[in-house]
Amino acid sequence: MLFIEPHAGVAPVVRFIREAHKRLDINTYLLTDRVILRAVHSAVRRGVHVRIIIARHPYGRRPHGEIARLRATGAQVHYAPPRFSRRYVFDHAKYMVSGDHGEIGTANMTWSAFHRNREYLWTGHNPRVAQALRTVFQADWSHRRAGHGPRETLILSPGATRGLVRALRTPGRVCIESEELGRDRPVLAALRAKGRAADLLLPSRLNRYDRRVARDVASFGVHVRFLRHPYLHAKLIAGPDRAFIGSENLSPSSLEHNREVGLVLHGDDARTLFDQCQRDFGHAAGR
């Protein structure tokens, strides 16, 4: 099931946690939302084994207060592995898994994600997706490599460039939303090839470097606009029949160095994402 923020609010995440019975694994860049913290605490009290991985330096700082509040829920909490805890390299994934139930999205577990931002969440009972998420989580929990297996189901970073380029090459028009933009050569080549068949939406609060890249992309013929409200935190590449959502931005660090997790959706979900992106694009400004 697909949810679009800020319309859906925090309810889909809370419902997912409430439906966990034996084990719940959560990997998120940051978890500070009080409603979610209470739901995690309730899950632990009813006997669910909850494990949480968070980034060691979200927004460039060590989250001492956040760690204390997370541990107060009774959950086991680990920082991301050292290879995703270096300068400019971090665990940026946003997913949960419980049994054969998985959740993947673009939202950090913060109040802003569910009340101010454009975000997308997918939840579903899919044993293949759940197994892939469990494999990635267990590998990161124990500081091992996840191996190739999860990549048959997920768009997984490091190494996500090929998957996102494939999404950009979807036949027909594509609509793209990204909070950040960088000079990833295969991505830029795919955007150049797409040209006028691509609509790229970025947040109005974009740094100078990304704005320069955006001007270069516009020179390819790509239609580039900037969204003021809601804040664009989403990461989306959508055509009418196939769409990607996940934690990956269109930057080299996100695609080839961070821990990031995404998923390709088809059918009605893809059409819903494409239509929402087109509506956002229609409300955005050209500069």
Delineate the domains of the chain, giving CATH numbers in brackets.
2-152 (3.30.870.10), 161-283 (3.30.870.10)
Q: Is the dihedral of CA 16, 38, 35, 142 positive or negative?
A: negative
**What is the rounded distance in angstroms from the CA atom of residue 259 to the CA atom of residue 171?**
28
* Three-state DSSP state, 251: coil
Average pLDDT of span 80-106: 95
Q: What is the pLDDT of residue 72?
A: 96
Average pLDDT of span 39-44: 98
Least-confidence region, from 61-75, 109-123, 193-207, 240-254 = 61-75
Check if the beta carbon of residue 87 is closer than 8 Å to that of residue 245. Answer: no
Mean pLDDT of the chain: 95
Q: What is the pLDDT of residue 58?
A: 76
pLDDT tens profile 215-252: 999 999 999 999 999 999 999 999 999 999 999 999 99
Number of Cβ atoms within 10 Å of the Cβ of 131: 16
56: pLDDT confidence band, cut at 50, 70 and 90?
confident
Query: 123: which DSSP letter?
Result: E
pLDDT > 90 in the chain, percent: 93
Cα atoms found within 13 Å of the Cα of residue 200, Cβ hemisphere only: 31
Average pLDDT of span 278-285: 95
Plot region of 38 (φ>0 → left; ψ -120 to 50 → alpha; else → beta): alpha
Is beta strand 117-125 parallel, antiparallel or unpaired with respect to 101-105? antiparallel
Q: What is the pLDDT of residue 66?
A: 85
Average pLDDT of span 169-192: 96
Q: What is the pLDDT of residue 239?
A: 96
